[in-house]
Amino acid sequence: MLSIIIPTLNEARSLAETAAHTRSAANGAAIEIIVSDCGSGDGTASLACDLGLHVVGGGDCRAAAQNIGARAASGTVLLFLHADSLLPRDFPRLISRALDRPGVVGGAFDFEFDDYPQAEALDAQCLRWVVLVNRIRYRWTGNFYGDQSIFVRRDVFRRLGGFPQVRLMEDIGFSRRLRGVGRTAILRPPVRTSPRRFLSHGVVRQFAQDLTLLGCDSIGICPVRMWEHYNGWNRRGPNAAPCRSESDGSAG
């Protein structure tokens, strides 16, 4: 069975659609969906219960939430899904085929931004460039962002100690560890992710901030300090995304 862990913080607006889509896209395969909530104030946990999802809590950031969710999982393969991301149809079969390849221990999906009719023409073009640059980046480095829906064999996840206990860039850190123990795969069709964070803060500005964080991480600047600065940026302005900004270090 495939266990899908969704870390949440105030994701009531997105969760119902994501859960329904995930169940449909599984195409009859055996899956379980676990919502690991970080103390949402908008009723996310209650909604998840109403949707028939397994709910756990206690995490204070995305890394902790995903590790808690993984401990509650019963599947032999784990997949970590953002609450505003939609998996491609038949994704369990795609993952199973990838893990059948010699030496493959995990991986992630290609990603693209979901349609957003309110985006202006210039923003839409900039979003396409963000996707292109990131596709080149993770094929070159092998480092995945969380909104690519990272998947991994459960025994490998445990051997690696789960996601590093940092408040930012835990997905990059885990990808590095994963590459150290085996091959990783990038699957298509892509995951479709909401561009809400980019559109709320300005596409170019947000992408520049994300690239700055990647550069800082590559030279070993303290992740906690980076997290504080990042969230300071993201809390500014009346249209700041209320959910993703609290623990999201990804550029997708």
Q: How would DSSP label each residue in 101-159?
A: STTEEEEEEEEEEPP-TT--HHHHHHHHHHHHHHHHHHHHH-PPPGGG--EEEHHHHHH
**Residue 249: per-residue pLDDT:** 37
Q: What is the pLDDT of residue 217?
A: 67
pLDDT at 209: 75
- Contacts of residue 225, defined as CB under 8 A and 6 or more positions apart, other chains included, come to none
pLDDT of residue 78: 98
CATH code matching the domain that covers 2-117+138-194, chosen among 3.40.50.12780, 3.90.550.10, 3.30.70.380, 3.40.50.720? 3.90.550.10
- The verdict on whether omega for the bond into residue 102 sits within 30 degrees of 0, i.e. cis, is no
> What does each of the 252 residues of the chain score in pLDDT, given as a tens digit?
999 999 999 999 999 999 999 999 999 999 999 999 999 999 999 999 999 999 999 998 899 999 999 999 999 999 999 999 999 999 999 999 999 999 999 999 999 998 776 667 778 888 888 889 889 989 998 999 999 999 999 999 999 999 998 877 899 999 999 999 999 999 999 999 988 777 777 777 777 777 777 767 666 666 566 566 555 544 443 333 333 333 343 333
Question: Is 212 in contact with 198 (CB distance < 8 Å)?
Answer: no
d(CA 80, CA 34): 10
* pLDDT at residue 243, as a whole number: 33
pLDDT of residue 117: 62
Q: Where are the domains of the chain?
A: 2-117+138-194
The pLDDT value recorded for residue 183 is 97
Backbone torsions φ then ψ of 111, nearest 5 degrees: -135, 155
pLDDT at 242: 33
Identify which of 84, 42, 35, 104 has the alpha carbon closest to the alpha carbon of residue 198. 84
Cα Rg of the chain (Å, integer): 17
